[in-house]
Structure 1
Amino acid sequence: MKMAVHGIDLGTTYSCIASIDQVGRAEVHRNQEGSDTTPSVVFFETWDNVIVGQTAKDSAAVYPDDVVSLVKRDMGHGTTRTLHGRDYTPEEISAFILRKLVEDVKVTEGAEVCDVVVTVPAYFGAAERDATRKAGRIAGLNVIDIVSEPIAAAITYGVLNPSQDCRILVYDLGGGTFDTTVITLRGGDIEVVCTDGDHELGGTDWDSELVEFLAERFRQEHPEVSDPLDNKQTEQDLRRLAEDLKKTLSSRMKHAVRVMHEGRVTSVEMSRAEFESVTRHLLDRTIAITRRTLETARSRGVTEFDHLVLVGGSSKMPAVAAALEQEFAIVPQLRDPDLAVAKGAALYAFEETYRRLLSSGKREQAEEMALGAGLSATQQMEIEKRTIKTVASRAFGIVTTDKRTRREYVTHLVHANDPLPADVTQTFYTLDDDQRRVAVEVMEQAGSAESDRLDDNNEIGKGDLSIPPNKRAGFPLEVTFTLDPSGLLHVTARENETGERLDLDIQIGGMSEEEVLMSRTSLSAVQVS
């Protein structure tokens, strides 16, 4: 049985998986239900039987307490969901989605999935990226790399236009996250200039506005019954109606739905203009972030753009293209928005595996892999020399204390949009005589702008570093932040005076390595379908 590398778009609302076919093209694998994409919804029917996808989504109306959706928004936050008496982390729930994608490839095509690249929003921080990697490991996969969704989309675009040097603005509006990224393509090389976004803004927020709109119309017509949003089953029905209404209004000018609750029925007709008016504030938020991204790009020498590429299923709403063209005077291009990210991840996975084989001296194996994909010698040379450069999505630092005022603040070592990989070392000093320990608290920028206030940053890891005895205040400590091209962070704190090197590896994210291994073992007994 032939092994292949795969790219996975692990989306907030829909996910899909792709690989390279025998003629070098990225191909999305359909699930057992015959669809290119699988809803990222998990139904815990029993403790040992989990259902993922459309059936799980349909079950939400009947079993709302046993269905989990939008888990991507919880990645890296350390939250848990209790189902059938067991607490599940976001990594574990995401692992079930990954297992469904992998199992479908095995059943429908007889192909084993082992080595994968998983995509994340460009604005995901270190904790979210680390959690995504761990989800893959819990699912039994070898995660080669984590790659940002706009980069994956740009790879797909670059393959379609291999000889074209250009500057691209990627507008990625998915089901639960939004990113906007400026990318340059030069001689096949891909370079991220800057990125910005909001990982709690996406198509599901448009749905929520429609849910409230439909519920309010029902309340006005039937004030004598309870609020439909107080009933979990009715709320799930409204969410299904809202999503269908949103999608229908992308192709029709008006549409009607029926809201049912406690034996009452309200027929609600909505026009596209009404829909766009109700949700305009959400679209305006994406425009503001895009405008901010362009300002950063201009400060880095990119003042004009050749293409504005729309990615993500929610970017298909007509109002999106219209608003972007009016605001930025660029005609947006909607190219395979649902599948472009998974295809780009597959291309990246293939190329990265090929380059790693070459770098490890396995040229024969690399060439066999390339020939299996129908690549010519010229194409192989292009892959070998291609580079991908990206930037930090946010600022990262540690908590420090002012010696005089004892005010705590954040000192950032890595800043948003710094080129990656980044390797920064800074010296800090103890505050007191005979201080025996230092708490190293790793912080990540939380808001849209860098700030040294603790409230404007999130703690993503911490640990203690021991100090030798009898040291005066001002004893030096070195802290090193290493942020790799995938956006994964490694932090080391050390003191060197005694000749003994003390390293402190900060655990980023919610799950430890031991917990990941335990979850992989315990959840392997759970049936996923």
Structure 2
Amino acid sequence: MIVGIDLGTTHSLIGVHGPDGPRLFPNAHGELLTPSVVSLDGDAVLVGAPARERLVSRPGQSVAHFKRWMGSDRETRLGDRVFRAEELSALVLRSLLADAEAALGQKVEEAVISVPAYFSDAQRKATRAAGELAGIRVERLINEPTAAALAYGLQQRDEEGRVLVLDLGGGTFDVSLLELFEGVVEVHASAGDNFLGGEDFLQVLEQAFLAEHGLRADRISPAERAQLLRRLERLKRELSQQGQCSLDITLAGQSRAWQLDEARYAQLCEPLLQRMRTPIERALRDARLQPDALDDIVLVGGAVRMPMISRLVTRMFGRLPLRHINPDQAVALGAAVAAGLKARDQSLQETVLTDVCPYTLGTQVSRRGADGGERTGYFHPIIQRNSVVPVSREDNFFPMHDHQTLLIIDIYQGESPTVDRNIKLGELRIPLPGKGPASEKGVTTRFTYDVNGLLQVEVTEHASGTRHELILEQNPGLLSPVQIQQRLAALGNLKIHPRDAQQNLAVVARLERLYAEYIDQRQTLQEWLAQFRSALDSQDLPRIARDRDELSQALDTLERSP
């Protein structure tokens, strides 16, 4: 069984393609969206809604937004354990897989996982490693904008068309320009910002609130800051629907009130909106297209619900974008379609997906200036960004000096003219004969990049014909196969709370969060907690379900009260 997964910064979803098309699986709480949050409770792991509630009550044992750290060696301490982003993502994947297997009644063995189009080589490999740590095979990654196109069924349209997909998720912004014809989805250009998403728009609210009340983020406790962010997230959603909202919250021992309207919020977010324009313009420029050559513009990602996003797109292109599929679900539905295509589902018409290399790949060279002096550190592109993959390109390089005995071919990824601002992926050290003029001792260097993000570098030394090869399956900061097995064993020691207990755990975590937030209601909340724990101790399932529903309604009423 192959499933499709949207492993998101804020929320994650899982689905499958069946005879009636793609469908998504609800979690234990009956929700399609599982918060991408992990919390440690002793040796037990909480994922999703109960973990999100503990961001306030247990900030030192809970973490969110770790997708932004994929492909790096950053580690997060939860309690007395340390986790990498791949491991945290694997715990989310395990929770999603449990939901899918509960609905399907069979084991899931493989997944197609969506990734931001602008994810680097290292970030894509880290995503595959997360799948391996979760116990599934991940042979195929699909770019999120391409998945969104599949969700809209754009590959099935009768006429040719050019579609611009804008995907503003919780942590990343992706732009992809697709051409669709005769069942082919061809990516012409990708651009984006891996550090621009809904969370950044939330930070604008936080900074504005703190500035107005003369507060500093480092002067309030982690629990209070988590509480503030949660309330501001609710405010952000209400602004998208109502246009004007207010907030009352107790911080640092004082009650703080704040009012904001959508127009003022858009003004505060203007620098972020300008950052969105840059990758949109870059994708159009790379594809050599004018805005009026586009047939459709598609918005996906939960953050596109903000009215300012639609206004930005309408101003840039003079038309309204498509947004009739739930923007939170579009990528997951498309990933499920991609899973169906990989499984050769008979209900799907044959579709060909092409992709592009999202970054320029090249090497470091030295150049002689007009004064004859040598200057190193220049970037020489070999595969330009947005080249259709698979792609293979070669170039010739020569030593700078006669009798030089070593040539170093550094492999870099990036868009800067100097290598110090690009990412080094690896290097090959090529011995040279050491005799004769430099012009006779060059090398031919070939870069080959495939659909799975694998880069092969071949260097042939001219004088002897000796061939050297480097396959960049690993990057600095990524786990090696041995490390993956070690981390897999360590994760195996953690207990994952059973799926049927998730609803109870979420209610308890929510009650603990409200206890931290509502000081004047603490006695009542403590009594409710004691009553519910008594129900849990009884192991009387009908009583537990009845008390849980009543407690949830009471908590809803408390949160809605002014």
TM-score, normalised to structure 2's length? 0.81
Q: 1:427 to 1:524 in 2, by over 3 A?
A: farther
- Is 2:493 the partner of 1:525? yes
Partner of 2:61: 66
Partner of 1:205: 200
Q: 1:465 to 1:86 in 2, by over 3 A?
A: farther
Partner of 2:380: 411
The structure with the largest alpha-carbon Rg is: 2
Superposition map of 1:422-501 within 5 A: 422-431=391-400, 438-445=407-414, 450-459=415-424, 461-465=425-429, 467=431, 470=434, 473=438, 475-495=441-461, 498=464, 501=467
Determine if contact 1:120/1:146 at 8 Å carries over to the other structure: yes
Select 2:168's aligned residue among 161, 173, 177.
Answer: 173
Deviation, 1:134, is 1.5
Superposition map of 1:360-379 within 5 A: 370=346, 375=347, 379=348
Determine if contact 2:456/2:469 at 8 Å carries over to the other structure: no
Partner of 1:363: none
Determine if contact 1:31/1:108 at 8 Å carries over to the other structure: no
Select 1:15's aligned residue among 12, 22, 26.
Answer: 12
Determine if contact 2:364/2:378 at 8 Å carries over to the other structure: yes
Deviation, 1:310, is 0.5
Q: 1:169 to 1:464 in 2, by over 3 A?
A: closer
Give distance in 1, aligned partners of 2:486 and 2:395: 36
Q: 1:83 to 1:230 in 2, by over 3 A?
A: same
Determine if contact 2:299/2:327 at 8 Å carries over to the other structure: yes
Q: 1:209 to 1:495 in 2, by over 3 A?
A: same
Q: 1:420 to 1:486 in 2, by over 3 A?
A: same
Secondary structure of 2:343 counterpart: helix
- Is 2:236 the partner of 1:268? no
Determine if contact 1:158/1:188 at 8 Å carries over to the other structure: no
Determine if contact 1:164/1:186 at 8 Å carries over to the other structure: yes
Give distance in 1, aligned partners of 2:377 and 2:471: 22
Give distance in 2, aligned partners of 1:304 and 1:402: 41
| 1:281-313 per-position Cα deviation (integer Å, ceiling 9, x unaligned) | 21232133323322333x258851121110100
Give distance in 2, aligned partners of 1:118 and 1:294: 26
Partner of 2:535: none
Give distance in 2, aligned partners of 1:426 and 1:160: 36
| 1:135-166 per-position Cα deviation (integer Å, ceiling 9, x unaligned) | 11121111021111000111112268543432
Aligned residue-pair number: 488
Secondary structure of 2:72 counterpart: coil
Secondary structure of 2:468 counterpart: coil
Q: Which runs of 5+ in 1 are unaligned?
A: 355-368
Aligned partner of 1:326: which letter? R
Sequence identity (%)? 31
Determine if contact 1:128/1:509 at 8 Å carries over to the other structure: no
Q: 1:428 to 1:523 in 2, by over 3 A?
A: farther
Q: 1:417 to 1:504 in 2, by over 3 A?
A: closer
Give distance in 2, aligned partners of 1:516 and 1:495: 36
Give distance in 2, aligned partners of 1:328 and 1:44: 47
Secondary structure of 1:409 counterpart: strand
- Is 2:304 the partner of 1:309? no
Select 2:188's aligned residue among 183, 188, 193.
Answer: 193
Q: 1:429 to 1:49 in 2, by over 3 A?
A: farther
Deviation, 1:278, is 1.6
Partner of 2:546: none
Deviation, 1:36, is 0.7
- Is 2:111 the partner of 1:116? yes
Superposition map of 1:140-159 within 5 A: 140-158=135-153
Secondary structure of 1:249 counterpart: helix
Deviation, 1:256, is 1.7
Q: 1:492 to 1:95 in 2, by over 3 A?
A: farther
Give distance in 2, aligned partners of 1:83 and 1:125: 27
Superposition map of 1:22-171 within 5 A: 22-23=19-20, 25-46=21-42, 48-158=43-153, 162-171=157-166
Deviation, 1:465, is 3.0
Determine if contact 1:119/1:345 at 8 Å carries over to the other structure: yes
Deviation, 1:527, is 2.4
Select 1:508's aligned residue among 433, 453, 475.
Answer: 475
Give distance in 2, aligned partners of 1:265 and 1:97: 36
Secondary structure of 2:242 counterpart: coil
Q: 1:288 to 1:504 in 2, by over 3 A?
A: closer
Aligned partner of 1:212: which letter? Q
- As a proportion of its length, which structure holds more helix? 2
| 1:441-492 per-position Cα deviation (integer Å, ceiling 9, x unaligned) | 32111xxxx3321233122x22443526656556333433222224443334
Aligned partner of 1:146: which letter? L
Aligned partner of 1:524: which letter? G
- Is 2:320 the partner of 1:320? no
Q: Which deviates more, 193-202 or 282-291?
A: 282-291
Give distance in 2, aligned partners of 1:141 and 1:490: 26
